[in-house]
Amino acid sequence: MASLQEQLMKAGLADEKKAKSIRQEKRKQRKQQPKGSQPVNEAQQRVEQARKEKAERDRQLNQQRQQEAERKAIQAQIRQLIETNRLDRARGEEEYQFVDGKKIKKILVDAQMVDQLSRGRLAIVKLNDGYEVVAEGVARKIMERDEQAVLVLHDRNANDTDEDDPYAGYEIPDDLMW
């Protein structure tokens, strides 16, 4: 089959002189390009650039989704810790005041809880829009996940002993081997 150029010349739409000048122009363009390089296709470059930008946007979106999923998982862990370890305040008669942000809040607890809250054995944590009392160990686990969820946790004194401790009068010797 003949080339398009030959077909145009046979039909009389192009002449030999015009075809020769087009061939020379193409040859000049090929010679001017460095060896091994392909002619630059702008459409391909735009497509490649758009593909790279889309991949970057998708990566950032996936990273945001992953961070949101991690945050939700941490909140679920905190909620589960609080709900399974909260102490019963049903018979609370005394008000215990604490600060939540810039507001002073009150909860009803019994006298023993007030004492343990002030000694750092109990803590007040925020669950959704409510407040719960949990043990110190649970509060520390919650603080590992989110420090802002624990509203009240006083530091314990090293020499602070419980009055109900049956071993309070016995000191542990330094050379005790287990």
For residue 163, what are the CA distances in angstroms to 57, 88, 111, 136? Answer: 61, 22, 15, 18
Separation between Cα atoms, residue 55 and residue 20, nearest integer Å: 47
Q: Which two tokens stand for residue 104?
A: 């002073």
* Residue type, position 50, single letter: A
Hey, what are 138's tokens? 């649970």
User: How many Cβ atoms from other residues are within 10 Å of residue 3's Cβ?
Assistant: 9
Quick one: residue 128, left, alpha or beta (phi over 0 = left, psi -120 to 50 = alpha)?
left
- β-partners of residue 46 are none
- Degrees to nearest 5, angle at CA 26 with 20 and 32: 135
Q: From first to last of its 178 residues, what are the pLDDT tens digits of the chain? A: 567 778 877 887 778 888 888 888 888 887 777 666 665 678 888 999 999 999 999 999 999 999 999 999 999 999 998 899 888 888 888 889 999 889 999 999 998 888 888 888 999 999 888 899 999 999 999 999 888 888 888 887 655 556 677 777 777 777 766 6
Helical ranges in the chain per DSSP H: 4-11, 16-32, 42-85, 111-119, 136-145
pLDDT in tens, 111-131: 888 888 888 899 999 988 889
Show Cβ contacts of residue 145 under 8 Å, excluding neighbours closer than 6 positions.
Answer: 74, 77, 78
Taken as a whole, the chain contains a residue count of 178
Reported pTM = 0.57
